[in-house]
Chains A and B, each alone.
Chain A
Amino acid sequence: MTENNAKSMSIIVTKGTLDWAYPPFILATTAAAMGLEVTMFFTFYGLTLLKKKLDLKINPLGNAAMEMPVAGMHMAMPNLIAAMPGATALSTTMMKEMLKKKGVASIEELREMAIEADVKIIACQMTMDLFEYNKSDMIEGLELGGAATWVDAATRCDINLYI
Chain B
Amino acid sequence: MADQVLDAKGLSCPLPILRTKKAIKEMSTGQVLEIQVTDPGAVADFEAFCRTTGNEMLAQRSEGGTLIFEIRVS
Contact = CB atoms under 8 A, between A and B. Distances in A.
A26 B13 contact: yes
Interface residues of B, number: 14
A9 B10 CA distance: 29
Contact of B17 (A33, A102, A103, A104): A33
A34 B11 contact: no
A91 B10 CA distance: 24
A99 to B, nearest CB: 9
Contact of A30 (B10, B14, B39): B14
B10 A33 contact: no
A35 B52 contact: yes
B12 A103 contact: yes
A29 B52 contact: no
B12 A29 contact: no
Contacts of A102: 12
A73 B43 CA distance: 27
Interface in A97-132: 102-105, 113
Interface of B: 10-15, 17-18, 20-21, 39, 49, 52-53
The 3 residue pairs across chains A and B that have the minimum distance between CB atoms? A33-B21, A30-B14, A103-B11
